[in-house]
């Protein structure tokens, strides 16, 4: 939890190139709204991932925005398309995907290259 106090205050360290929306809106949003940071020996290690639920939430936002689907249409679309794509990206069945692979994932969930041109 960013800003959690105590002797070891945790500060979420988003890579500098993604700190503002001006740099890369998609990655900024993924880091800020959907990703969790991995841990080594109980301490944050700077490696970010999306679990299945957060990847689905990000996918919902993308298909609603770029494919112009309403909430019900997006839910149906994701029910048909998300599980197979998630299985392809989470090949080791760890329940998480590296944040660096999510732009490709989100472009594929659109299924339409032209609709995803503005995905940034």
Q: Is residue 82 a part of any domain in this protein?
A: yes
User: Token pair of 25, please?
Assistant: 């809106």
pLDDT the model gives residue 42? 85
pLDDT the model gives residue 60? 97
What is the pTM assigned to this prediction? 0.79
51: Cα separation from own chain's centroid: 8
pLDDT the model gives residue 85? 97
- The structural domain count of the chain equals 1
CA dist., res. 10 & res. 79, Å (int): 36
pLDDT the model gives residue 43? 85
Q: Is residue 9 a part of any domain in this protein?
A: no
pLDDT tens digits for 44-59? 888 999 999 999 999 9
Pairing of strands 43-51, 36-40: antiparallel
Q: Is residue 115 a part of any domain in this protein?
A: no
Question: Token pair 């990703």 is at which residue?
Answer: 35
Q: Is residue 37 a part of any domain in this protein?
A: yes
Question: Which residue stretches of the chain have pLDDT < 70?
Answer: 1-23, 112-120
Q: Is residue 11 a part of any domain in this protein?
A: no
- Domain span at 64: 16-110
């Amino acid at each position: 939890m960013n800003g959690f106090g105590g002797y070891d205050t945790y500060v979420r360290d988003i890579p500098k190139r993604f700190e503002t929306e001006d740099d890369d809106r998609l990655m900024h949003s993924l880091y800020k709204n959907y990703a969790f940071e991995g841990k080594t020996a109980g301490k944050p290690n700077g490696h970010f991932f999306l679990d299945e639920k957060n990847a689905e939430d990000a996918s919902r936002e993308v298909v609603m925005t770029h494919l112009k689907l309403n909430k019900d249409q997006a839910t149906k679309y994701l029910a048909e398309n998300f599980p197979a794509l998630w299985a392809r990206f989470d090949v080791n069945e760890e329940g998480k995907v590296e944040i660096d692979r999510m732009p490709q994932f989100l472009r594929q969930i659109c299924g339409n290259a032209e609709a995803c041109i503005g995905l940034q």
